[in-house]
Every structure is written in structure tokens, then in C-alpha cells.
Amino acid sequence: MEYKHFGHQHTLTLYKVPTGQQYQCHGCHLPCHDSIFACWSCSFFLHEHCGNANRYVKHPSHPEHPLVLLPSPTYCSSSYLCNGCGAPGSSFSYCCPMCEVDVHLHCAYLPPKVTHQAHQHDVFLSFKLPDLGGAAVHCKICAKEINPKHWYYFCEKPECGFRIHTFCATNEVKPGLYGDDGPEDQVQVQTPVCAQPQPTAEDVLAEMLRIQIQLQMAQHINQVNSNYI
Ligand SMILES: [Zn+2]
Ligand SMILES: [Zn+2]
Ligand SMILES: [Zn+2]
Ligand SMILES: [Zn+2]
Ligand SMILES: [Zn+2]
Ligand SMILES: [Zn+2]
């Protein structure tokens, strides 16, 4: 069975990874152990869930606009900083081109609730630190500061004051957690990549935005270059 993915020019085949073997997913850069989409001539691999990830999601961290899945960053630096965890990324991202929001594929599907062995209560994903009068918040796992711009997990009981980095909380992903029809639509039917529906008006709009941004970037580079001539 062959699949076409917008992030790769060749068709991909679904492959069951035998135990003992490991590949790196091009989409999220995490190791793949089970089912992968593969292009063997390019050594291009995707987790099945990364290959099937929705092209658009309505994400609670950015309710204003849908986030668009891009196979590679459109920035000149060809990398981005994830709004979720703060780490750089250079492969798949969910982005809002208008607001310069970029989120790792695996960060976009962080579980809303995590049971952590270091705390007796469940902790919940939150996208914005409360204003604590400018006081820095430190992660209860690694003791490093939590950047107020990044996401974190917290215990709902205020007396616990338990807040931890997303990457200190879990490496779990919940593929298909968010659909493109809003968070109510939590169940996503996994369809083979080749059977994805035709682009909608929203697809076309997002694609146009992307092209527009690339054009603006090109113009900017031209301008900068012409200043030096
Ligand atoms: Zn992946
Ligand atoms: Zn290839
Ligand atoms: Zn991230
Ligand atoms: Zn936006
Ligand atoms: Zn931490
Ligand atoms: Zn607690």
C-alpha cells in the first residue's frame, strides 16, 4: 500500500518496525518503534500518527486561528522556537502564519492531563502562567525557571503550588486529540494519507498566506541585498 504525504515528494509505504530496530521520525524527531511511513531511498520516516496528523487543528493554545501543519519552517533560518516548550524545531510544526505561532507536532498533542509519579494529584496542561507579581516560577522537577511564555503542567490545588515544564511532565502524545472542527470533536478517524479529502477553501487560504509570507520574505531579502550594492 502506498501513501502520498505533502511533506515528501515520493510515495511512502507503511512498514511494521521489527523489535530491536529503530528509526527517527522526520516529523517530530522522536524514535519510532512500531508502525512507520517510510521512503527507503531517502531514509525518510514518519510515525504513523505523525503522517496522519491533521493539516489544520483548532488548538486551545491559540483559539483565534486554526494552526496549519507545515512540513518545514518558512523562516529564513529554517528553524523555529516552539511556543509550547521553547525548544527549537526544524521539522514539522503547527503554525499560525499571521501570529507567528509555531508548535512542535508532538507538543501540539500533549495530553491535557498527566499522572506524574512525583506528585500525588494529577496535573493539567496550561498555556499561560498566572501573574504572580513578577515572581519567577520554578519547575518542581528540574528546579529551572518556567518561562512565562511557555506551557506547563500544574496541580489544581493552589496549596500545592506544583508547576512543572511540559517536557518534565511527560513524553506522551495523544495523536488526533484536536480536530479541525474544534475541541468538542475529540475523536478523529485515522484515514490513510492518500485518502485525505480534497483541499477546502481553508486549505487554499492557508496556502495563499504561506506563499504571501514567502514572497514578503523574498522581497525583504532583495531589499537588504540591494542596500549593499
Ligand atoms: Zn513523529
Ligand atoms: Zn523519498
Ligand atoms: Zn515544543
Ligand atoms: Zn493566529
Ligand atoms: Zn522542569
Ligand atoms: Zn497537588
The CA distance from 44 to 12, in Å, is: 9
Residue 67 identity? L
Neighbours of ion ligand 4 (CB under 5 A): 64-65, 96, 98-99
Say what the pLDDT of residue 145 is: 96
- Report CA(64)–ligand 4 centroid distance (Å): 6
Say what the pLDDT of residue 74 is: 82
> Which ligand sits nearest to residue 52's alpha carbon?
1
The sheet with strand 163-165 has its strands ordered as 113-114, 123-126, 152-155, 163-165
Q: Which among 5, 2, 23 is positioned nearest to 13, based on CA atoms?
A: 2
C-alpha cell at 109: 498533542
Q: In this predicted model, what pLDDT tens digit does every residue of 172-214 receive, in sequence order?
A: 989 888 887 644 444 444 444 444 455 565 666 666 666 666 6
- Report CA(123)–ligand 6 centroid distance (Å): 8
Give me the residue spans of the domains in the chain. Answer: 2-51, 54-108, 113-169
The CA distance from 207 to 66, in Å, is: 13
Say what the pLDDT of residue 184 is: 46
> Which ligand sits nearest to residue 41's alpha carbon?
2
DSSP letter, residue 203: H
Say what the pLDDT of residue 133 is: 83
- Report CA(168)–ligand 6 centroid distance (Å): 16
Say what the pLDDT of residue 224 is: 61
pTM of the model: 0.76
- 3-state helix vs strand vs coil in the chain, percent to 5: 20, 25, 55
pLDDT band at 72 (very low <50, low <70, confident <90, very high): confident
The answer for 133, left when phi > 0, alpha when psi is -120 to 50, beta otherwise, is left
pLDDT band at 131 (very low <50, low <70, confident <90, very high): confident
Lookup result for grid cell 512565562: 148
- Report CA(150)–ligand 1 centroid distance (Å): 21
Decide: 139 and 162 in contact? Cβ < 8 Å.
no
Q: In this predicted model, what pLDDT tens digit does every residue of 15-52 receive, in sequence order?
A: 999 999 999 999 998 899 889 999 999 999 999 999 99
Say what the pLDDT of residue 66 is: 95
- Report the largest interatomic distance among the alpha carbons of the chain, rounded to a whole angstrom: 64
Which tops the pLDDT comparison, 168 or 228?
168
